[in-house]
């Protein structure tokens, strides 16, 4: 068993504000205590998400955890300690997951932008054997959101789907899951000009350049429209009569609905065979791997809204 130190390096903030003003790398952050149902994970890689920036600037202040806060949701790493009630995981297991069960409802004080993080066993799954830690860390929030949204729409084989923002973290997963897991009859997705080839490679039957045409003017309508970009009012115009629109961003136009992902290791386990067979791939932006010391640059890139796939922090410093 690894000798776990008492303190660790972690990115941490003690007040709301812009990341470059409030987020600091400290080397004396106390390693979190384990609850009975938790494991301590030595973090090998952490995925970044838009919610990290939004929480830091104080958008969700009504449901926040106490300060000081270590940001980060996605983790891939190695179990180094287990709580007394942990049943299936053991020291040495390689795992991945989204450590916050409810993304915006009092998330944990200590996230994944740290050398160690404590997380409930039920939120983790074994890391797919063929994926690197960086690839695994890019997945949990994005693939979990994509999967939960498709389930909530009761999306089934033979249905058609339009994905708005198909090149982003969630959108790139929606395309792949709809096509290869749920058995969509037709997948259409939007992106900017330079990302159309990515959409086709992911499995889109038609890639729509949103800089040149309006998706709601397409001659076809869809069983499901999955809006990853906050264009709900337009999305509703693209659905079939009796169809469904789900959004994960922005205002909601009836009859669309919005949800916020609930982390669930069992869903990741269900999807592992598709990841291990290569039917579903982790998508990391070509510029999207930043070392731990450049976490601020990674967050700034996420904030541009131009990321293809995900941004990942790897390696995490562990030279204690």
- Per-residue pLDDT, 318: 62
Report yes or no on 264 lying in a domain.
Answer: no
Domain that holds residue 150: 144-256
> For residues 80 and 100, what is the distance between their CA atoms, to the nearest angstrom?
19
Half-sphere exposure for 205 (CA within 13 Å, toward CB): 13
- Per-residue pLDDT, 320: 43
Chunk the chain into consecutive blocks of 10 residues (it has 320) and report each block's average pLDDT, rounded to whole numbers: 89 98 98 97 98 95 92 98 98 98 94 98 98 98 98 98 98 98 98 98 98 97 98 98 96 96 98 98 98 98 97 82
Do 12 and 58 fall within a single domain?
yes
Give the three-state DSSP class for 273. helix
- Our count of domains for the chain comes to 2
- Per-residue pLDDT, 1: 56
Do 121 and 148 fall within a single domain?
no
Do 216 and 307 fall within a single domain?
no
Do 87 and 151 fall within a single domain?
no
Q: What is the DSSP letter of 84?
A: T
Domain with 178 in it: what CATH number? 3.40.50.720
CA distances from 74 to 101, 240, 319 (A): 11, 35, 22
Report yes or no on 272 lying in a domain.
Answer: no
* C-alpha closest to that of 153 among 32, 24, 243: 243
Report yes or no on 29 lying in a domain.
Answer: yes
């Amino acid at each position: 068993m690894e000798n776990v130190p008492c303190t660790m390096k972690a990115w941490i903030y003690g007040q709301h504000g812009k990341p470059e003003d409030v987020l600091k790398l400290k080397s004396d952050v106390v390693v979190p205590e384990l609850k009975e149902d938790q494991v301590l994970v030595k973090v090998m890689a952490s995925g970044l998400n838009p919610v990290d920036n939004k929480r830091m600037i104080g958008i969700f202040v009504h449901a926040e955890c106490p300060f000081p806060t270590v940001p980060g949701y996605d983790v891939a790493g190695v179990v180094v300690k287990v709580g007394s009630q942990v049943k299936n995981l053991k020291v040495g297991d390689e795992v991945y997951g989204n450590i916050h069960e409810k993304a915006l409802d009092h998330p944990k004080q200590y996230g994944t932008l740290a050398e160690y993080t404590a997380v409930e066993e039920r939120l983790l799954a074994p890391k797919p054997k063929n994926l690197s830690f960086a690839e695994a860390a890019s997945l949990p929030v994005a693939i979990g959101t994509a999967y939960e949204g498709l389930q909530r729409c009761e999306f089934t084989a033979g249905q058609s789907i339009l994905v708005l923002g198909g090149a982003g973290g969630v959108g790139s997963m929606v395309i792949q899951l709809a096509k290869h897991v749920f058995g969509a009859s037709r997948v259409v997705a939007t992106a900017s000009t330079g990302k159309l080839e990515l959409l086709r490679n992911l499995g889109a039957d038609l890639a729509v350049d949103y800089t040149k045409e309006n998706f709601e003017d397409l001659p076809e309508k869809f069983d499901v429209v999955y809006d990853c970009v906050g264009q709900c009012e337009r999305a509703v115009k693209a659905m079939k009569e009796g169809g469904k629109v789900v959004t994960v961003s922005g205002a909601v136009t009836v009859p669309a609905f919005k949800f916020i992902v609930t982390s669930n290791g069992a869903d990741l386990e269900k999807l592992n065979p598709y990841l291990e067979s290569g039917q579903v791939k982790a998508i990391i932006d070509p510029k999207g791997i930043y070392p731990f010391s450049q976490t601020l640059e990674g967050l700034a890139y996420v904030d541009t809204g131009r990321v293809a796939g995900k941004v990942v922090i790897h390696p995490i410093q562990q030279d204690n």
